[in-house]
């Protein structure tokens, strides 16, 4: 039975959404399907306006009930970094998963992570590491991007790029004006392919 995969992301300025769409393209290229959701916004509109945040995309459903994820075998989480950790919006989502924690609703499921930071050294790897604690409490099995399918890209020093063996990533710039590059999007695409390939080897009932 083909694995069922969900992509869940939070994106204030659109960078993570673009990576999420590239991840989905990679999954489809590998022969799979996925559903994309976004984490609900927690900031009021007047605050978002002061932060010059564009309107949220209406293309993807906001996931208010974590129970929806129980039907999936694997997740790819798109996390924009805040000081090397989850943003409050994503933390608020996880704080609603007490039922799944108690019942093992996510136990044995698989997950990968992709990230965005303003600058190099902004916490791309530490954000994924921070996610490990949440995964451990839920019994979620982490699937890293690794080097196998992207060694050439990760070893390429000809341009500035986000991403690491921990997962795809992008740099947004301090003012959010920098957009994901072709190289960064390719890492997300390859992560989607590799994630689906890894889950395809697992027998799901």
Is residue 124 situated within a structural domain?
yes
Is residue 44 situated within a structural domain?
yes
Residue 1 pLDDT grade (very low, low, confident, very high; cuts 50, 70, 90): confident
Q: What share of the chain is helix, strand, coil (3-state, %, to 5)?
A: 40, 20, 45
Domain around 143: 5-200
Model confidence pLDDT, tens digit, residues 77-90: 999 999 999 999 99
111: CATH: 3.40.50.360
Residue 198 pLDDT grade (very low, low, confident, very high; cuts 50, 70, 90): very high
Residue 157 pLDDT grade (very low, low, confident, very high; cuts 50, 70, 90): very high
Overall domain count for the chain: 1
Is residue 205 situated within a structural domain?
no
Model confidence pLDDT, tens digit, residues 24-40: 999 999 999 999 999 99
Q: Pull the structure tokens for residue 179.
A: 């957009």
Closest CA to 166 of 99, 113, 105: 113
Residue 53 pLDDT grade (very low, low, confident, very high; cuts 50, 70, 90): confident
Is residue 89 situated within a structural domain?
yes
CB neighbour class for 130 (10 Å; exposed up to 12, middle 13-18, buried from 19): middle
pLDDT of residue 54: 87
Is residue 160 situated within a structural domain?
yes
Is residue 63 situated within a structural domain?
yes
């Amino acid at each position: 039975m083909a694995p069922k995969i969900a992509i869940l992301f939070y994106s204030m300025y659109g960078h993570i959404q673009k990576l999420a769409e590239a991840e989905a393209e990679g999954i489809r290229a590998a022969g799979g399907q996925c559903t994309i959701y976004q984490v609900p916004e927690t900031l009021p509109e007047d605050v978002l306006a002061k932060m010059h945040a564009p309107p949220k995309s209406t293309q993807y459903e906001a996931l208010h009930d974590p129970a929806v994820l129980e039907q999936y075998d694997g997740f790819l989480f798109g996390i924009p970094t805040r000081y090397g950790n989850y943003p409050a919006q994503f933390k608020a989502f996880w704080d609603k998963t007490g039922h799944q924690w108690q019942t093992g609703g996510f136990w044995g499921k698989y997950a990968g992570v992709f990230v965005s930071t303003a600058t190099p050294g902004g916490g791309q790897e530490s954000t994924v590491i921070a996610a490990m604690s949440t995964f451990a409490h839920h019994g979620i099995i982490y699937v890293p991007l690794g080097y196998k399918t992207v060694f050439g890209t990760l070893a390429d020093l000809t341009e500035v790029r986000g991403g690491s063996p921990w997962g795809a990533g992008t740099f947004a710039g301090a003012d959010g004006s920098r957009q994901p590059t072709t190289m960064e999007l390719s890492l997300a695409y390859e992560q989607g392919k590799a994630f689906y390939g890894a889950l395809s080897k697992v027998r799901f009932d």
